[in-house]
Amino acid sequence: MELIIDNRQDKVNLETDLIEILTKVVEECLVYEGWDEDYEVSLSLVDNHEIQELNRIYRGKDCATDVLSFPMVDDNSPMTEEKILGDIVISVEKAVEQAEEYQHSLKREIAFLTTHSMFHLMGYDHMDEEARRIMDGKEKAVLNKLGIKRE
């Protein structure tokens, strides 16, 4: 598994162990779902301005959001030798706001957003209550397995 992290924001200083935590999150999501671990995932850490622009372009919503997922694998696309699962974009500014709101660490919030996005990349969604319940259970299972809990 290759996790490519691109920190494109300069508003929040991130701790160095965050990369190790996020790598474990991505690996555990793949293991949890029984997927091969030889996928590539791109994770971009951005500010609210950049994610608002991406949200406007790709979702037609002109507002900042916490995370965007861009899956590259679906049932209709031919599989190439390069197994690119997709791209995750996280607003670090929004993650800071949510960590404060939920009263847990920034590391936990970014780990949660990465887990959430990984399940989107693997085809899950939360468009109805049953789908939301399933996805929520998967997120909690992965985070609990890694010992990443709300503090």
Binding-site sequence positions for Zn(2+): 116, 120, 126
Instruction: Report which of 73, 84, 68, 79 is spatially closest to residue 2, judged by C-alpha positions.
Output: 84
Report the distance separating Cα 52 and Cα 63, nearest Å: 5
Report the distance separating Cα 12 and Cα 96, nearest Å: 8
Instruction: Report which of 67, 71, 81 is spatially closest to residue 110, judged by C-alpha positions.
Output: 67
Residues of each annotated binding site: 116, 120, 126
Rg (alpha carbons) of the chain, rounded to whole number: 15
Contact 122, 85 (CB under 8 A): yes
Q: Give the sheet arrangement for strand 40-46, strand by strand.
A: 2-7, 40-46, 84-91, 67-71
Number of H helices, E strands in the chain: 5, 4
